[in-house]
Amino acid sequence: MIRRLLQPRRPTRFLRSYASLPEPLKRRVLETPMAPTYDPMSVEEGWQPYWQTHASTPDATEHFTMLLPPPNITGALHIGHALTATIQDAIARWHRMRGFDVRWIPGLDHAGIATQSVVEKKLMREQQLTRHDIGRDAFLSHVEAWYETYGSRILGQLDRLGAVLNHDHKYFTLDGPRSAAVVDAFVRLHEKGLIYRHRRMVNWCPTLQTAISDIEVDAVPLTKRTLLPLPGRKAPVEFGVMYRFRYQVADADDLFVEVDTTRPETILGDVAVAVHPEDDRYTHLHGRSVLHPFSGQRLPIVCDAALVNPELGTGVVKITPAHDANDFACAQRHNLPEPIVIDLDCKMVTDIPSLSGLDRFDARLHIIELLREKGLFIDTLDHPTTVSICSRSGNVIEPYLMPQWFIKCEDMAARSAAAVRTEALPFQPPTQHQHTWYHFLDNVQDWCISRQLWWGHRIPAYRVHTDKMTTDDKWVVARSIEDATAQAMTQYDLSPGSFTLEQDEDVLDTWFSSALLPLSSLEWPNDDSVPESIRHLYPMSLLETGSDILFFWVARMSMLCTEVHGGTQPFKAVWLHPMVRDKTGRKMSKSLGNVIDPLHVIGGIDLPTLLDGLHEGNLDPKERARAEKELKKEFPSGLPSCGTDALRLTLASYLSQGRQINMDLQRVVASRHFCNKMWNALRYALPLVQTASSSSLESHVPSMSLADRWILSRLADAVTKVHDGYGSFKLATSATAAQRFFIQELCDVYIEFSKPVLYQDDDAHAKEAAKATLTTALDTSLRLLHPIMPFVTEELWQRLQGGSEHSLMTAAFPDPAQWARWVDRDAEASMQAVLDVMHAVRSLRHTRKTLAPDASTVDGLKIQCSDATTMALLQRNLSDIATQCRAGPVALVSTVDDETKSPDHIWLTHSLHEHCQVLLPLPIGLETSGRISAEVDRLMKRQAKAAKTLAMLDAKRADPKYATNVPEAIQAQDDERIGQASVEHASLGESLAALATLQAQVDRLQHQ
C-alpha cells in the first residue's frame, strides 16, 4: 500500500522479480518491533549475503565497470581500504539504482616483494631455514600455502564495509588468465622493441635482495649531518658529510690532488679522476695519472665537462663506474674498466684482508682510518644532500651495475600525458594532480621491470647456451618453451639439439601485472573465447584509487594498456582520492601509535585492548605515552560500536578536504548519532504511515499545508544536489546535502510541524496529505542516503515498505527531472518567513531567560507587522508558530502603540526586516542591570578570544612561506577556522550592541 503512494515510480524496465526476503530478515523487518535505539551490529546482520545474491542486473542496457584496487595478499583492512571501499561502493550503488549493470571487479595482488618477505620471515621463525636452503620450488609451495590460508581474508573484511563486489569476476594477479596476459604483453612489447635487456645502473636494495624501480626509491633530503637508523645495523649511520682526501700524482712525490666524496668505501673501485677541461687549476695535469691509495695502480686523469662542475668542491671527481650512475656514464665515454667492489649483500669485494667481506658502512669508517694512516685524509665537511632510501625496506639504496630488463617509456608516457592534456582522459579533481602527472610523464625514465625474487611472474625470456657462440648473453623472448626453441633456431641459425635454453630466474615487477588489470580482469588476450558481454566493458568506466599510487599504478596502466590494446586508454575517467591522516595531519604509522583500525571503529573496542595495541611494534616510549593520554581522554570507556554506516558517512563527508583527510574519530561518533536520528524518525513515522491511503501523492496536493509543500520543495532541491554530487565526483556534497535535509529540514522542522496535524487535527484530508508527504520524504531520503549508508537505509526502507520484493540497492534513485515539479519557491519563501519569526522568538526567550530567570517564558509575545501580505501569511500560520515556540497566546499587531510602554518592563525586540519585528517583555528588577553587565562581560571575553584566534591565524598566513610549506589540508582548516571566528566575532558584536541598548533603556526607566 505504501509503495503505491511513493513518487517518482521506478521505471518499468528496471523492475525485477525478486524472491522475498530471507526468513531471518523478514522476521526482523516485518514482525519484530523497532528497538528503542539504533544498534549497528543488529542492523547490519544479514544484508550482505542478500545484496550479493541480488546485485546482478543483466537486463540493463547501460553498463558501469570499475576495478577495486587489488589489495596485497599480505594485507589486513586499514583505513585507506575503508575509504576506497566507501567511495567505490557508493558510486557502484548509485549507478545500480539508476539502472546500470554494474561490474565492480575485485581481486588480489600477489605483491611479490611483500609476500616473499613475509613468508621468508615465517620460514626462518618456524624452521630456521632460508629460501635458499630449501630451493625455489619448495619455497614457492610455502608461499602458495600461505596465500591459500591468508590471502582472501581482506576481501572478507571488505564485506564488513558493505562492499557489493562481483565475486564471479574475482581474480588473482598470479592466476592462469592473468599469467597468460602478462606473458602475451611482455612478448608484444618486446616484439615492438619496447622491452630490452641492458647492463646499466640499477637501484639495489640489499635487504630485499632485488633491484627496484626509480619510483620505489624515496629521496630523503638532509640539511645537516644526520644519524639514520638502518635495518640490520645496531648503530645508526651518519649522512650529510663530505669526506676530503687526496690522491698523489704519479711520478711526482710532492704533488697531490684533493677529492671530495660522500662514499669513501667506493674508493676501492676508483678507476680514474676527472677534471673539467677548461679549469685552469688542473691544465698541468691533463694526460697524467694519480696513484690509487691502496693498490698503487695508476689511474688516469680524464677531462670530462659533462661530469665535472669546477664550482663544486675541489673541482676534481673520483670515478667509480660500477657504483655510481654518473661515473658509469663517464666510464662509457672514456672506455674505463668497471670493477665491482661491493657485492649484492653490500659487503666489500677486495684483496685487502681487513676490508674483505666488511659491510659497506663499516668499511667506510675503516677506509677513513687507513687514509689517515697514509697521511691522505684531510677533513670532513657538512654537506646538505639527498639519501636514496628503499620505500619498502628503509635501507639505503646501493647503485649497482647489472643486466636487467627495461621498458622504453618515453613514447608511451608522452601519449598518456597528452590524453590528460586534451581531456581524452579526464582527472578528478580536475586540477589537483595534473601537474604531478605531467611532471612524472614528461621526465619519465625507462622502467626496470626485472626483480631478483622467486615469487612473481617469471620473465618469459630464455638464455641460449651453445658452443657456437662466444657469449652466453644471447636471449629469446617467447610465449612458451616451444616457441622459444623455434625462435632460437631461426634467430641464431642453430640446429635442433645443438643448444639448450634456460629461462630467466628473475620475475617481473609486481606493478607490471597490475598495470594490465583493466585488460586482464576482462580475460584479455583471450578475446575469441570471451563473450561480447565482457569484451564491450573495455575501456572501464572509471578508475578510482588513492593519489599515492598515481605513478605506481595509474600511469603504468595508462601506458601499457594503451600500447598493447590499440591505443585506447583503459578507463574513461580517473578519480584520485586523498590520503587519510590522523586528526592533527600526521601520517598514520605504527611508529606513531595513531593507526585507525576500521574494524575497531565498526565493532567497538574496550580501552584496555585499545591501549594494548600501542605496545605492538617499536613505538617510541614518548609517542606511546602521548597516544595513551589522547585515547584515555577521548575514549575513557573505549571506542563505542559506531557501525559501518557511520564510518562510511564520515569518510564520505571528509572528501572535501583536498589532498589529505585529517581523521577525527569523534566525527564517526557524531555520524552514529545521525544513524540514531534516522532510526528515531522512522520509529515516529511507521505507526502513522502504516494507516495511509493508497492514493498517489499528487492526489493530496489540494489538501497540503504550507509545511507539506515546503518540505517537498526542499526535498527536490536535495535530490538535485545529491544527484549532482554523485555525478561530479563530489561525494562530500552528496553526503552533506542528504544529511542536512534529513536533520535540519525533515526532522527539525517538518516532523515537528506534522505532529499537530497527525495527532490532533480533525481534518482527515490534511492528515492523509501529511502522511503521504512524510512517507515520500522518508522513502526518498533513504534512497538518497543509501549509496553511502547502505545498511541502516536498507533496514529502515524495508520496514517502511512493509517488506519489499526487491532491495533498496536496486530501487530507482530519485531523478531531479521528475522531482522538479515539486519545486515551490513561493512555499519556500513563505515557510522561511514563518521560520524566521520562530527563530526570533526563541532567541528573545533565551535572552529573557538569561536576564530574568524567574520571568514567564510564554506570556506577552507580540509580532508587529505593517505589511499586509506578511500579516496575512503569519495570521494563517499563527497557530503553528505558537505551538512550535510553546509561546501561548501570540498577539499579531500592525502597529506598536504607547500601551507597550511600562515602568516595570521593557521590550526585547528582534527585527526581521523593516516591516516586521518580534517583541517580548523583559521585567525590570533590582538585579536586571547586574545581569546585563555579567552577560556583557561573558560575551566580551568570547569576542576577545575570537579576536585572538583571528589575529593568530592572520599572522600565520602572513608568513611568506605559508603557501608553500603548510600542507593544503592545514590551510583549509585555517580558512575554516578564520571563517568561523569571523562570524562569531561579528555575531557577538551585534549581541553586545543590543545589550548596550537594553542597558540604556533600563537606566532610563530606573531614573524616571
**Beta carbons within 10 angstroms of residue 601's beta carbon:** 25
Tens digit of each residue's pLDDT (9 = 90 or more) over 514-532: 999 999 999 888 866 666 6
Classify residue 265: in a domain, yes or no: yes
**Unique residue bearing C-alpha cell 515546503:** 710
8 A C-beta contact, residue 216 and residue 209: no
User: According to the model, what pLDDT value does residue 476 have?
Assistant: 97
Domain termination site, one of 383, 403, 419: 383
Number of independent structural domains in the chain: 2
pLDDT of residue 857: 65
Domain assignment present for 14: no
Of 341, 361, 383, the one marking the end of a domain is: 383
Structure confidence at residue 900 (pLDDT) = 52
For residue 262, the enclosing domain spans: 241-383
Phi, psi of 546 (to 5 degrees): -75, 145
969 within a domain of the structure (yes/no): yes
| Residue with grid cell 514563518, as numbered in its chain | 834
Task: Name the residue with cell 571563517.
Answer: 979
CATH code for the domain in which residue 263 is found: 3.90.740.10
Asked if residue 940 is part of any domain, the answer here is yes
Beta carbons of 275 and 282 less than 8 angstroms apart: yes
Cα dist from 112 to 35, 455, 636, whole Å: 49, 5, 42
Domain presence at residue 23: no
- Residue 711: closest CA among 747, 758, 680, 762: 747
Note every long-range contact of 52-55, with CB atoms under 8 Å and residues 24 or more positions apart, other chains counting: 52/164, 52/167, 54/16, 54/18, 54/806, 54/807, 54/809, 54/810, 55/96, 55/102, 55/164, 55/166, 55/809
pTM, two decimals, is 0.85
pLDDT, tens digit (0-9, with 9 covering 90-100), for 622-663: 777 888 888 888 888 888 999 999 999 999 999 986 778 888
**pLDDT at 696 (0 to 100):** 84
Last residue of a domain, one of 383, 416, 442: 383
Are 97 and 16 contacting, i.e. CB atoms less than 8 angstroms apart? no
- Other Cβ atoms closer than 10 A to 129: 14
Residue 35 covered by a domain: no
Residue at 329 is within a domain: yes
**Residue ranges in the chain modelled with pLDDT below 50:** 1-19, 899
pLDDT score for 913: 80
3-state class percentages of the chain: helix first, strand second, coil last, to nearest 5: 50, 15, 35
pLDDT of residue 921: 85
Q: Is residue 364 part of a domain?
A: yes
